[in-house]
């Protein structure tokens, strides 16, 4: 255990986050996301028993969002006609605003297959047990400024 570091950030996850460089992306995927299929060229880390919001909150405390791009956070847009509750997006907005002064303006929504294409380029995918649909998020890493 480390002081000031969430116990959700396992040694393996901390190693992945440290290895990532500027502009690398990280997917935090819900339980329905095809993590192994999308992550054929990425590190896939299983974090069963955890949800996306709790991991996002812990990761945002140590993970700088890219300051050189307008939208370093991506969400999967609902498929037209899909009437699924996406109130979790509001939770994400609040978490991001707490850690980055640019707030919700950092978020973009991608069409489902566009999101998949971006996920295929990720450095790592965290597969969670999140049961809510459209709870996936992609984070683009920035630089730690001195």
Active site residue 68: no
Q: Out of 22, 68, 82, 85, which one is annotated catalytic? A: 22
**How far, CA to CA in Å, does 130 sit from each of 28, 49, 110?**
10, 8, 19
Active site residue 22: yes
Q: Are 138 and 27 in contact (CB under 8 A)?
A: yes
Nearest residue to 78 via CA among 117, 132, 119: 132
| Radius of gyration, alpha carbons of the chain | 14
Q: Out of 66, 92, 100, 123, which one is annotated catalytic? A: 66
Question: Which residues are known to be catalytic?
Answer: 22, 66, 116
């Amino acid at each position: 255990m480390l002081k000031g570091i969430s116990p959700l950030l396992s040694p393996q996850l901390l190693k992945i986050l440290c290895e990532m460089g500027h502009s690398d992306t990280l997917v935090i995927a819900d339980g329905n996301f095809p993590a192994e299929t999308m992550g054929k060229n990425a590190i896939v880390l299983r974090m069963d028993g955890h949800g996306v919001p709790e991991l996002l909150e812990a990761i945002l405390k140590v993970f700088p969002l890219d300051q050189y791009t307008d939208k370093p956070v991506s969400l999967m847009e609902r498929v037209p006609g899909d009437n699924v509750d996406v109130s979790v997006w509001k939770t994400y907005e609040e978490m991001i605003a707490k850690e980055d002064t640019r707030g919700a303006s950092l978020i973009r929504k991608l069409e489902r297959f566009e999101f998949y294409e971006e996920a295929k380029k990720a450095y790592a995918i965290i597969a969670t047990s999140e049961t809510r649909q459209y709870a996936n998020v992609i984070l683009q890493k920035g630089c730690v400024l001195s």
